[in-house]
Homo-oligomer: A and B are copies of this chain.
Amino acid sequence: MRLTTKGRYAVTAMLDLALNGTDRPVSLADISGRQDISLSYLEQLFAKLRRNDLVTSVRGPGGGYRLSRAGDEIFVAQIIDAVNETLDATGCGGTADCQQGEVCLTHHLWCDLSDQIHNFLSGISLSDLVEKREVQSVSARQNARRHQSATLALTEI
């Protein structure tokens, strides 16, 4: 279990999907614009999210990504695990021969710690996040700006 900006990006993007993808698929370009994440980097992240069955894709115009299931069935831990792709949380790959053929001090300790953090993050779903007041207000502002620039684009024609 690693916690870096990579996982943060992935969770943000998935939360964006949960917020804006209720009726239609959401393109990575949209997410890139709203969340200020590079499009190509998003592509890499979503390739992993798709391989881990967290999202489904729709190609062609009007296409994009959808959550593969309801937001209350997708948990933060799953998202982070998907993009980090490290099944190996112990450093010795579960074989427990980390140190000269024997188990190290850290082995049990970190397994335990890792398990508990994992359990903690497994208890937070996308729906839980969507329901938070702060998230809603930020999302509202992002969409307001989006409409504003859409209007701007129209008046420019």
Contacts and interface: CB of A to CB of B under 8 A. Distances in A.
A135 B109 CA distance: 7
B2 A107 contact: no
A8 B138 contact: no
Report copies per complex: 2
A45 interface: no
Q: Which 6 A-B pairs have the closest CB atoms?
A: A108-B134, A12-B106, A36-B99, A3-B3, A105-B138, A12-B105
A92 to B, nearest CB: 11
Interface stretch (A21-29, A48-56, A60-68, A116-124): A116-124
A47 interface: no
A101 B4 CA distance: 23
Interface in A108-155: 108-110, 112-113, 116-117, 120-121, 124, 129, 132, 134-135, 138-139, 141-142
Interface of A: 1-5, 8, 11-12, 15-16, 34-36, 76, 91, 98-100, 102-110, 112-113, 116-117, 120-121, 124, 129, 132, 134-135, 138-139, 141-142
13 contacts: A1-B3, A11-B109, A12-B104, A35-B104, A35-B106, A36-B98, A76-B113, A105-B135, A107-B138, A109-B135, A113-B121, A117-B120, A117-B121
A34 B105 CA distance: 9
B132 A102 contact: no
A129 B106 CA distance: 10
A12 B108 CA distance: 11
